[in-house]
Structure 1
C-alpha cells in the first residue's frame, strides 16, 4: 500500500494503490471535467497525455547519489496530474519485498534526509513530500499542478554497515518506473485586466487564466453580479494558483452571501506568467450560477539607480561615490511618486545583475558596475537572479550579505527577503517575506550582526529576487535620512564549500539533467559532509592507516620462506602483493592520512591482482608440479586474473574460479602420489600437524572474515587481520625444499664474485 508522508497544507494530493490498467481507466473515467456556458452546450474538452521514462534499478540509501532521480515536464493548463508508480522485483525467491520511499517536488530535485543527518549552518531546508510504497503499485494525484519541471526521487531503505562480497550473497534487483498521466484543458477562458468576463456554472468547473506582467504589485480578483437561477446568491468557490510540492500556496475564495463583496487580494503575484483560476459551483446539481469575473492589476515602476558616476573620470575630476545611488530629488518623480506615464508609483529600486556562468551548475551573480547596493527606508532595493535556465536547480544558492560597519546604528535594521517568482515589497506592513504564492527566506542585518548568510540547496527553477529595505522599529523618523551600503556575494555552486575536507563533490546525471551531491568519508555525514556525530578523529584515521599498511609486512614471512626454499617466483609475487597492498591502502584512506604514489584505480587493480595471484601460486606450489609445467600455469593464471579483474573487479568468483581450479590440480596430484606410493601424501605427520593444518585453519578464518564479518565500522581491524592471516597461511602452506637442494642455494658466492650453480640432472658444477 502507499502511505503519504509530509502534508502539503491543503494541496489536492491523493495517494492510492491500483494496477496500471485500473489507474488509467480511473483517470479517464473519473477526471473532473471543466465546463462553462449553457448546460446544453458541450463541456470544455480535456485531452490526456502520457509521459514515461526508462526504469532504473534502486539502491539502498547511503548518500544522495543512491537515490534515483526522474525529471518530468508538466504542460500548461493541466487540471490533473497522476503518477503511476511501479516496482518490480528480481533475483529469485530469496529476495523479499522492501519498503520503497518516493519523493516529489516541483521546480527542483527533492532535498531528502533519510539518515537524519545535519545540514550546514545557515541552510534553509523545507520538509519533503514523500510516500512509502509497501506494494508493487501506487499512484499519486495532484489537482491543478503547476506547469514546468517536476522531479521524482526513489530509494530503498538505508544500507546496512555490513560489507557484502559480490557473489556470496543473493543479488536482489528492485526496478522502479514512474509514468505520468496528465489531463489538460484545451479551452481556457482568458481573463483580461479590468474587463468583466461573464461565466455560467452548472455542475462542472470553469477554467480561467490571467497573465501577470512584470512589476505587478497587487492582483485583485472580484466576482460581481452573482445570481443563482435568476435570484441573488453567489455559491462559488475560486481556487487561484497552481499546486506545487512539497508546499502548496493555492488561495481559495468561497463566496456565499451576495450582500458583501466577494474579492481576493494577492500581494506580489508571480511575475511574467499565466495564473490559473478555477471557479466551481457550490450549489446543487442542475442549479445555474452566473457571475462576472473581474481582475485588477496594480502596477509599479522600478527605478534603476544611475551608474554614470562609475564611469572612468579624468584626473582633475571628482565625484561622490554614492551620488549615483541616491534616489531622485524631492522635486523629481522619485520613489513613491507618480510616474509621468501614470502607470503607477515607483515601488522599488532595481539593480541590474550580471550573470556569469563559470562551470557546470556554477554561476556568479553581481550587480553591474558596482560592489555594494544602497538600501533605504522609502522603497525596497531589489536584485533579480536568473535561475530559470532549467539547469540551475541542481546546485546550492548561497547568499552572503555584509553591511557597512559605520552605517548601521543600534536603532536601524536592514531586513532582507529572498523569494522566487516575485519580490517581497510590503516591508512597511509586514516582515514575514510572504508573497502571493511563496514563503520567502528572511534575513536581517543590524549593529550587532552586520553579516548574514543563507544557503538554499536545490533552488527552484525560476527568477529569484533579493529584496532589502531599511527599517527603524523604534523611531521611523530616523530612517528617512539614513541609507546603508550592503555588499552582496551571490553564487550558485554545485556543492557548498566543495563538500569540505572529508567529502567529494560528485556531478550526477539523469539524461541531460545535471545535479551535484556530496559523498562523505571518514565517518562524516550530512548534506555537505559537516555532520561529525560519527566522524573519526585524526588519531583514529592514522591508526587505521597504520593497521592497514603495516599489516602487509606479514608478507615478509612467506617471502623469506620462499627464498630459503629456492621458490624465487613465489617470493617475487609475494613482494609484489606486499608493495601494492601497502600503498593501495595508504591511498584508500579518508581524511588527512593519505599517500598516493600512483592513481587510485591503478593501485587498486594491482592490489587485487597481487592478492589473487598470490593465492594461485601458493596452491600450485603445493601441488609439486614439474618446474616447466608449474611456471606455465603461473603465467596462464596471471593472465586469466588480469582479464577477469578488468571485467569485474568486485566479483568474488572472478578470483575464486581460478583458485578452485588450482585447488583441483593440487588435490589431483596429491591423490596420484597417494596411489603411486601406497601411502598418504604428504607422508610426514609433522608436516600435517605443524604446517598444513595451521595454514589451512588460518586460510579458512581469513575467508570467513573476508566474506561475512567485515563492516564499515570494523573494516580497519578485520581487513588488517585478513592481511596477516593470508600472509601467514602462505608461509605455512609452502612446501619444503627438495631433499637435494641446500638452503639459500643461489646466495653462495665466491670472493671473486663468481657464483656456483648446480645442475641436478647432470650432477655437475659449472662456473658462470
Structure 2
C-alpha cells in the first residue's frame, strides 16, 4: 500500500483486470485488440497479459500493442471450463508534475473468438459387459498385452465417414481409488483403445479432486502401429497429426510415441498439478495422411496414480504428510541419496561407509557390558537387567534403522524404536534413583511407577524433549533431597569420602555432561553415525562410574558352602522290629 506524503508526487499505474470463460471443447481462441486510444484521442501503447499472474511465466502469454494497429494472439487448446485472466496495462503514460493529479482513460476494445470442437463418443451405447470382465488382464509393465495389433482396413473403413464429422473421439474412463494417493484408471470398453488418423482419441484422467497432491502419474502405452500421444493438463491437444507439437495454450505437455519397432512407451509425471489431465492419441503415417485414413490401431493403455514412484527404492521410504487438510506423498531418502525417488547418488554413501556406520552404532552399545558387570558385582540386579535390556534393543534398533544393504531387523521397526527409547530413559531413571540411596521399598516403587509413566509418555510423543528431561529432572530432585537428608542426619557432607568424589562422581558427571553436549549440540544428519556412537560410549561409561558402592552388610559374590567331592555312606541306626508268630 503506497503512502502519500505532502508535496511529493507519486505516479501510480492502475491496471484493468478482466476475465473470460473458456467453454468446454474449445479447440482454439482468437484474441484481438483494436485501436488503442486515450481519452484525449491519442494513440497509446498497452501490454496485455493473458493467464494467471500468480503462476510461473510459462503459464502467461504477453503481447504489446502500439498505436492504432490491431494486434491479435491465437491460443491453441485453451484450458477448458476455466476463467482466463486478462490484464491490460498502459505503457508510456506522461508523469504528473508536482501538485498535479493525472487522470487518463485508455480505451481498448477487446474481441474474443472461440473455435468449437464437436466431440464424438466411442460407441452409441455403454458396454456394461466390460464392467464384469476379469481383472486378470495385463499389468502395468507387462509386454504381452492382448489387442496390440492393427485391425483390418476394411473393418475400420465403415467408420471413416462418421469420424470426419468429429474432431475427437472420447473413451469412457473410470477412476478407481485403491488406497491413499493411489488411483487406477480403467477403460470401460476394454484395455485397448482404437486410434485413428482423422481425429485424436481422448482419455480423461481426473486428478481434480483436490486430494491427489503428491504422487506420480504413470501412463503406459502398448501398440503395434505408429501412434503419437500427448499427456496434458486442463485441455487436450487436438492437432497431433498436423504439427505433432505436444503443447497447449498455457501448458507444455508430455509427448509419447509408439511404433512397430518400439511397441512400448512409459511416462511418469512427478507431482502432477490438480486438474483434469488428458491423454490424446492419434495415428500418424510417415508417407502421408491419406494412406491411413481408413486404418485403425489398437493401443493398450494403463494409467494409474501412486504415492511414490518405485516405492522410493532401497534407499528411501514413502512418507505421507497431512497439513491444513491436504495429504502429500513423497520420498524420504537416506544414506546421502536424493532425487524424487531416491535415485540420485551424487552424495550417496558407499557400501563400505554404510557398513562402517552400522558397526559403529551397534558395537558401541557393547560399552554397557562394564556397567552391567559393575551393577552385578554390587548387587544391583534390577539396574543390571535394565542396562541389559537397553543394550540389546539399542543394538538391534540401530541395525534395523540403517538404509541400504547393511540392515538387519529381528522384529518390527516401530517396536524396536519404542523399546530403544524406553530403555534409554528408564536407564537414566534407575541410575539416578540408585545414586540417591533411598530405602529399597521406596526405590523399587519409584522404579515401577516411573517406568509406567515413561512408557505412557513415549506412547503419546516418542520424540518429545520432556520425555527424557522430565524423568531426569525429577530423579535429580529426589537424589538431591536424599543427599541433603543424609548430610543433615550425619552432620557432614554426603557422600563423605573424598575418594568417592574424585575417582567416581566427578569423572562420571564429566562423562555425562560431555555426552549430553554431544547429543544436543553436535549431532547432525551428516555426522550422526559418529556422534551418536560417541553418545553410547560416554553414557555407558558414566553409568559405571556413577553407580554407588554396595551396602556394607553385603558380602562379595562367593559360594556359601564348599561342595564335597566324595561319597558318604549313610547308616540308619533305627532298630527294626519283626513280629514273631
TM class, shorter-length? 0.7 to 0.9
Structure 1 equivalent of residue 253 of structure 2: 440
Once the two structures are TM-superposed, the CA of residue 490 in structure 1 deviates from its matched residue by 0.9
Picking from 187, 211, 214, the partner of 1:391 is 211
CA distance in 1, matches of 2:107, 2:378: 104
Structure 2 equivalent of residue 215 of structure 1: 25
1:294-328: CA deviation from partner (whole Å, max 9, x where unpaired)? 54333232333448898979xxxxx9986699996
Checking the alignment, whether the CA contact within 8 Å between 2:231 and 2:254 is kept in structure 1 is yes
CA distance in 2, matches of 1:333, 1:277: 40
Structure 1 equivalent of residue 77 of structure 2: 268
Cα distance change, pair 527–478 in 1 and its aligned pair in 2 (3 A): same
Q: Does 1:299 align with 2:119?
A: no
Once the two structures are TM-superposed, the CA of residue 625 in structure 1 deviates from its matched residue by 4.8
Q: Does 1:650 align with 2:439?
A: no
Alignment of 1:134-283 (within 5 A): 207=18, 209=20, 211-222=21-32, 239-256=49-66, 262-277=71-86
Structure 1 equivalent of residue 133 of structure 2: none
Q: Secondary structure at the match of 2:341?
A: coil
Picking from 178, 188, 194, the partner of 1:374 is 194
Once the two structures are TM-superposed, the CA of residue 452 in structure 1 deviates from its matched residue by 2.6
Once the two structures are TM-superposed, the CA of residue 281 in structure 1 deviates from its matched residue by 6.8
Structure 1 equivalent of residue 571 of structure 2: none
CA distance in 1, matches of 2:219, 2:52: 28
Q: Secondary structure at the match of 1:402?
A: strand
CA distance in 2, matches of 1:541, 1:455: 31
Structure 1 unaligned regions, length at least 5: 1-17, 23-28, 35-78, 80-206, 314-318, 340-345, 409-413, 753-768
Structure 2 equivalent of residue 364 of structure 1: 184
1:48-94: CA deviation from partner (whole Å, max 9, x where unpaired)? xxxxxxxxxxxxxxxxxxxxxxxxxxxxxxx4xxxxxxxxxxxxxxx
CA distance in 1, matches of 2:513, 2:105: 84
Once the two structures are TM-superposed, the CA of residue 675 in structure 1 deviates from its matched residue by 4.6
Once the two structures are TM-superposed, the CA of residue 219 in structure 1 deviates from its matched residue by 2.4
Tell me which moved more, 491-500 or 742-751: 742-751
CA distance in 2, matches of 1:743, 1:639: 32
Q: Secondary structure at the match of 2:240?
A: coil
Structure 2 equivalent of residue 334 of structure 1: 162
Tell me which moved more, 643-652 or 211-220: 643-652
Structure 2 equivalent of residue 67 of structure 1: none
Structure 2 unaligned regions, length at least 5: 5-10, 94-102, 131-146, 566-581
Checking the alignment, whether the CA contact within 8 Å between 2:149 and 2:223 is kept in structure 1 is no
Once the two structures are TM-superposed, the CA of residue 245 in structure 1 deviates from its matched residue by 0.9
Picking from 485, 488, 497, the partner of 1:682 is 497
1:615-640: CA deviation from partner (whole Å, max 9, x where unpaired)? 34444444555545554554565466
The structure with the largest helix share of the pair is 2
Once the two structures are TM-superposed, the CA of residue 736 in structure 1 deviates from its matched residue by 3.8
Cα distance change, pair 370–550 in 1 and its aligned pair in 2 (3 A): same
Cα distance change, pair 247–509 in 1 and its aligned pair in 2 (3 A): farther
Picking from 361, 367, 370, the partner of 1:557 is 370
Cα distance change, pair 283–290 in 1 and its aligned pair in 2 (3 A): farther
Cα distance change, pair 262–675 in 1 and its aligned pair in 2 (3 A): closer
Cα distance change, pair 238–611 in 1 and its aligned pair in 2 (3 A): closer
Tell me which moved more, 445-454 or 392-401: 445-454
1:132-176: CA deviation from partner (whole Å, max 9, x where unpaired)? xxxxxxxxxxxxxxxxxxxxxxxxxxxxxxxxxxxxxxxxxxxxx
CA distance in 2, matches of 1:737, 1:282: 91
Alignment of 1:452-467 (within 5 A): 452-467=265-280
Once the two structures are TM-superposed, the CA of residue 223 in structure 1 deviates from its matched residue by 5.5
Alignment of 1:92-107 (within 5 A): none
Alignment of 1:516-535 (within 5 A): 516-535=329-348
Structure 2 equivalent of residue 420 of structure 1: 233
Once the two structures are TM-superposed, the CA of residue 679 in structure 1 deviates from its matched residue by 11
CA distance in 1, matches of 2:494, 2:213: 76
Once the two structures are TM-superposed, the CA of residue 571 in structure 1 deviates from its matched residue by 2.3
CA distance in 1, matches of 2:160, 2:223: 29
CA distance in 1, matches of 2:541, 2:322: 46
What TM-score, normalized by structure 1, do the two folds share?
Answer: 0.59
CA distance in 1, matches of 2:19, 2:160: 41
Cα distance change, pair 750–265 in 1 and its aligned pair in 2 (3 A): same
CA distance in 2, matches of 1:709, 1:254: 57
Checking the alignment, whether the CA contact within 8 Å between 1:620 and 1:666 is kept in structure 2 is no
Cα distance change, pair 456–672 in 1 and its aligned pair in 2 (3 A): same
Q: Secondary structure at the match of 1:581?
A: helix
Structure 2 equivalent of residue 614 of structure 1: 427
Cα distance change, pair 636–509 in 1 and its aligned pair in 2 (3 A): closer
1:275-305: CA deviation from partner (whole Å, max 9, x where unpaired)? 45556677976577475x5543332323334
CA distance in 2, matches of 1:451, 1:542: 40
Structure 1 equivalent of residue 572 of structure 2: none
The structure with the largest strand share of the pair is 1
Q: Does 1:575 align with 2:388?
A: yes
Tell me which moved more, 558-567 or 583-592: 583-592
Q: Secondary structure at the match of 1:717?
A: helix
CA distance in 2, matches of 1:679, 1:251: 82
Once the two structures are TM-superposed, the CA of residue 403 in structure 1 deviates from its matched residue by 2.7
Once the two structures are TM-superposed, the CA of residue 658 in structure 1 deviates from its matched residue by 3.1
CA distance in 1, matches of 2:67, 2:155: 47
Cα distance change, pair 471–656 in 1 and its aligned pair in 2 (3 A): same
Cα distance change, pair 478–322 in 1 and its aligned pair in 2 (3 A): closer
CA distance in 2, matches of 1:332, 1:616: 83
Structure 1 equivalent of residue 530 of structure 2: 717
Once the two structures are TM-superposed, the CA of residue 611 in structure 1 deviates from its matched residue by 2.9
Cα distance change, pair 696–331 in 1 and its aligned pair in 2 (3 A): closer
Checking the alignment, whether the CA contact within 8 Å between 1:325 and 1:374 is kept in structure 2 is no
CA distance in 1, matches of 2:332, 2:56: 25
Cα distance change, pair 644–659 in 1 and its aligned pair in 2 (3 A): farther
Structure 2 equivalent of residue 471 of structure 1: 284
What TM-score, normalized by structure 2, do the two folds share?
Answer: 0.75
CA distance in 2, matches of 1:360, 1:266: 37
Cα distance change, pair 644–672 in 1 and its aligned pair in 2 (3 A): farther
Q: Does 1:660 align with 2:476?
A: yes
Once the two structures are TM-superposed, the CA of residue 30 in structure 1 deviates from its matched residue by 6.7
Checking the alignment, whether the CA contact within 8 Å between 1:375 and 1:470 is kept in structure 2 is yes
Alignment of 1:11-90 (within 5 A): 32=14, 79=17
Q: Secondary structure at the match of 1:653?
A: helix
CA distance in 1, matches of 2:357, 2:28: 63
Q: Secondary structure at the match of 1:459?
A: coil
Checking the alignment, whether the CA contact within 8 Å between 1:622 and 1:733 is kept in structure 2 is yes
Tell me how many residue pairs correspond in the alignment: 531
Tell me which moved more, 623-632 or 500-509: 623-632
Once the two structures are TM-superposed, the CA of residue 488 in structure 1 deviates from its matched residue by 1.7
CA distance in 1, matches of 2:92, 2:539: 82
Once the two structures are TM-superposed, the CA of residue 268 in structure 1 deviates from its matched residue by 1.9
Checking the alignment, whether the CA contact within 8 Å between 2:218 and 2:303 is kept in structure 1 is yes
1:99-149: CA deviation from partner (whole Å, max 9, x where unpaired)? xxxxxxxxxxxxxxxxxxxxxxxxxxxxxxxxxxxxxxxxxxxxxxxxxxx
Q: Secondary structure at the match of 2:161?
A: coil
CA distance in 2, matches of 1:312, 1:647: 51
